[in-house]
């Protein structure tokens, strides 16, 4: 099928998993109504969860997960040297995700606790861009399939892709929600990048910031308004650290 007379290119795509829950990869197989079309827009040559083929010849690499071991560094660098385009997919790939918490604990002690006297090799969590150059970043825990589709359309047809730059509040308000703060619940919506459709405030949870900081977030006002509503610095800091999208930002640093 041609779109506006443009002949789509069918890129060879590899989907690779690093440290993480692999939920983002699984998202790629969701949204059944357009799954067939999605899969036929691409030539998927490497996708452990979706097929047994494993080729080393691809144009685009979708990376799921973050880097926590040295062998992952080697594998990632090899992927980068082959792929023309590297897409960091999901919060772990984009900024470390929940695995970023490992950077704040004693890893050796944790290793002993879990593996006893047979510790496994493990190191600090790094986002994909901290190891190799990333061309496109799609944060989200998990990533939104709709956004992946738009990126694929962008890559295949050149349909422009602009991630939203407004915070979660816009889509939250557009769902007629009463603000979580009115209900006495903390919410990172005002400083988190929107585009997710605000499922968490809509479902009665505050936003936990899985899409990372929005463009030019007003951190100072956010801190003030949260403190004024009775949330402690510890609560705010815990929330900011949760998905790793506010790396280095704490109440003390704001």
Residues that bind other proteins (CB under 8 A): 1-3, 8, 34, 36-38, 41, 149, 152-153, 157, 159, 165-167, 169-170, 173-174, 176, 178-179, 181-184, 189-191, 214-218, 220-222, 225
CA proximity to 18, closest of 86, 107, 81, 117? 86
The entry of other proteins, ligand SF4, none near residue 241 (CB within 5 to 8 angstroms by kind) is: none
d(CA 100, CA 102): 5
Stretch 154-183 residues interacting with ligand SF4 (CB under 6 A): 168-169, 172-173, 177, 179-181
Nearer to ligand SF4, 79 or 180 (CB): 180
The entry of ligand SF4, other proteins, none near residue 196 (CB within 5 to 8 angstroms by kind) is: ligand SF4
CA proximity to 247, closest of 148, 129, 116, 157? 129
Chain residue at closest Cβ approach to ligand SF4: 189
Question: Which residue do the tokens 């969860």 mark?
Answer: 49
The sheet that has 12-17: what strands, in order across it?
A: 43-47, 12-17, 60-64, 85-89, 136-138
Q: Are 26 and 49 in contact (CB under 8 A)?
A: yes
DSSP count for the chain of H helices, then E strands: 10, 5
Q: Are 128 and 100 in contact (CB under 8 A)?
A: no
Binding mask 180-219 for ligand SF4 (x = CB under 6 A): xx-----x-xx-x---x-xxxx-----xxxxx--------
Write out the residues near ligand SF4 by the rule CB under 6 A.
168-169, 172-173, 177, 179-181, 187, 189-190, 192, 196, 198-201, 207-211
């Amino acid at each position: 099928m041609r779109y506006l007379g443009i002949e789509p290119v069918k890129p060879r795509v590899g989907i690779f998993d690093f440290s993480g829950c692999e939920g983002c990869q699984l998202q790629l197989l969701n949204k059944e109504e357009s799954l067939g079309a999605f899969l036929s827009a691409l030539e998927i040559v490497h996708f452990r969860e979706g097929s047994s083929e494993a080729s080393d010849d691809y144009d685009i690499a979708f990376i799921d997960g973050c880097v926590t071991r040295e062998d992952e560094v080697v594998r990632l660098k090899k992927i980068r040297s082959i792929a023309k385009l590297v897409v960091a997919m999901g919060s772990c790939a984009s900024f470390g995700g929940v695995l970023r918490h490992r950077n704040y604990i004693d890893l050796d002690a944790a290793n002993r606790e879990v593996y006893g006297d047979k510790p496994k090799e493990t190191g600090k969590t790094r986002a994909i861009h901290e190891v190799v150059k990333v061309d496109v970043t799609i944060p989200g825990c998990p990533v939104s399939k709709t956004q992946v589709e738009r990126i694929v359309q962008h890559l295949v047809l050149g349909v422009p892709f602009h991630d939203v730059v407004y915070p979660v509040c816009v889509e939250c308000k557009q769902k007629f929600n009463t603000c979580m703060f009115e209900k006495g619940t903390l919410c990172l919506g005002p400083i988190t990048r929107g585009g997710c459709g605000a499922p968490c405030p809509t479902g009665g949870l505050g936003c936990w910031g899985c899409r990372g900081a929005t463009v030019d977030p007003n951190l100072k006002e956010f801190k003030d308004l949260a403190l004024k509503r009775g949330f402690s610095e510890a609560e705010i800091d815990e929330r900011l650290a949760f998905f790793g999208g506010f790396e280095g930002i704490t109440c003390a640093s704001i």
